Structures are given as structure tokens and as C-alpha cells.
Amino acid sequence: MNAFKRLQLEYDGIYGIIHKYTSAPYIINYLNKLKAAIDAPDYDALMYSLSAIDKWYDNNIYEISHNEFVFNFDSHQKNMQLIKEILAEISEQDCIAGSQKMEERTEDTVIFLSHKSDDKKYADALERFITGLGVRNDQLIYTSHPLHKIPLDVSIYEYLRMHFDSNLFMIILWSDKYLDSPACLNEMGAAWVTQSDYTNIYVPDFSFGNPKYHECAVDTKKMGAVLNGDAHCKASMLELKNKIEDLFGLKNEEAKVMYLLERFIEEITEDK
């Protein structure tokens, strides 16, 4: 995997870890400029923004390590190392190749919502949010919905295998029942084996201390969203919205996004 592709896949995590620590305009500005440079892609702007973020970490890592309210210092260390590795490896040719692939990928892009049927309430809310953004029925695999199900007489694993060859983005809806399902764990494992991009989403009562969770192949320390309806949940859903829009080349008006988000929060907190 070239450094540009790695940066594309890791950007949300880089942003999330830093933003959780600070909302200082200086660093948030460079994070936003980095996202724009990745999307363009613009090699010079990318290198300038990434170098500024690297310098920010050099200047602030000591303070972060001694901040009594920072409980994820390891994540900052990994973030800092990741940025330095990408800076050392990325080339303009990587960006050019990434741009060509981005132009070709939209029609092949598929979202797979991996879930346990017991968690249909939350999965249905995610389906309505995703399709509300403009994702077509055939661009979402969600087996609990008639418009997104696996075709008749086709094995789910064979169907997924075909899509792992395309640009697959997996949303993993974690729950304790998901961890007890061999079928769900096989889906999650397939994403890891094929190095598919994924986002972690959690039902509100998920047990983060469950040993089965920490034995999974995917990165369970990757930033995710807990569907409890709080401010962090809303912010994470807006990040997911941005990711989906980037994947499919979509653009939505702010009023529409706010409506979709409010409806989503109402659905996941109903009868809470």
C-alpha cells in the first residue's frame, strides 16, 4: 500500500485523535487543509499541511504526555509516528496514481453494513442516514433490508468476495451479540484480510471490556462512534457523512444533513 493510500485510510483517525485533545484553530486549520489536499489531490499542499501537523506534534508531545486529562497517550504516539512515516515515504507520483484511482472508483464503491440482526433498530437508522445522503440501493449491502439484500440463491460470502475486489467500505456495527456470531466475525475478518477500509460503530450497551472484542483482527483502538445520541455521537456521524460523500462524490446541503442527523438521533434514542 503506497503512502498516499495509507494517508487516505488513516486520515479520520489522525483527525479524531488530535481533535479530541484540542480544537485550537491553528492545528484544526491544518487538518482541514490536509483533508482538502487529499481530496484534490494536491501534493504541495498535502506536504505543507502534513509537515505543519508533524511540527505541531513535535512541539506539543511533551505537554500531551503530562496532561492528566489525556487517557490515550499511546494513540498520540502512534499518530505522531504514522505522520512521520507517511512524510518520509509519500511521493508526488503516489498522489497522481491516487487521483486516477479516485476518478475511476465511484461506480465500483460499495458500503457493507456488517451487523447482527438483533441490532436491526440501529442498522435501520444507519441505512436511512446513508441512503438519505444519496447512496443508491445497489451501493449498499445491508442484508436485513429488502432493497440491499444479497441476491436470491447467492452465497453471502461469495457475494462479499466479489465486492472485496472493488472499493469496499465496511461499517461494523459492534454489539455483544455480534461478538457471539461466527458469521459476523467472519465478515469482519474478511475486511481485515483484504485490507478494506472500515469504521467502528457501537450500540449503546456494548461491553468494551469483552475479551472477544480485544481478540478481533481489526484495530479495536481505532476511533469509532457510540450510538448514544450525545455530542460525540453527532460529531462522529458528521465525520461518517463526510467520508461517504467523498467516497461517492456526493454533495448535500447543510439543512438536509441536519435533518438527516436529527432524525437519526431520534431513531437511535427512541425508547432508550
Break the chain into its structural domains and give their ranges.
Answer: 3-90, 106-269
Q: Which residue(s) pair with 199 in the sheet?
A: 171
pLDDT at 82: 95
Give CA–CA dist 9/234, Å, rounded.
Answer: 21
pLDDT averaged over 10-residue windows placed end to end, the chain, 272 residues = 85 92 93 89 92 96 93 93 94 72 60 92 96 91 76 60 69 94 81 75 93 80 85 92 89 93 94 66
pLDDT at 98: 61
pLDDT at 159: 63
User: Which of 66, 63, 35, 67 minimizes the C-alpha distance to 49?
Assistant: 35
User: Which cell goes with 202?
Assistant: 457501537
User: Which cell goes with 76?
Assistant: 498520540
Give CA–CA dist 272/251, Å, rounded.
Answer: 32
pLDDT at 168: 81
pLDDT at 196: 72
257-263 LR contacts (CB < 8 Å, sep 24+): 257/133, 260/128, 260/129, 260/132, 260/133, 261/129, 261/234, 261/237, 263/128, 263/129, 263/132
The model's pTM: 0.61
Give CA–CA dist 113/149, Å, rounded.
Answer: 11
pLDDT at 32: 92
pLDDT at 172: 92
pLDDT at 167: 77
106-269 maps to which CATH number? 3.40.50.10140
| Exposed/middle/buried for residue 107 (C-beta within 10 Å: 0-12, 13-18, 19+) | exposed
| Exposed/middle/buried for residue 93 (C-beta within 10 Å: 0-12, 13-18, 19+) | exposed
pLDDT at 26: 92
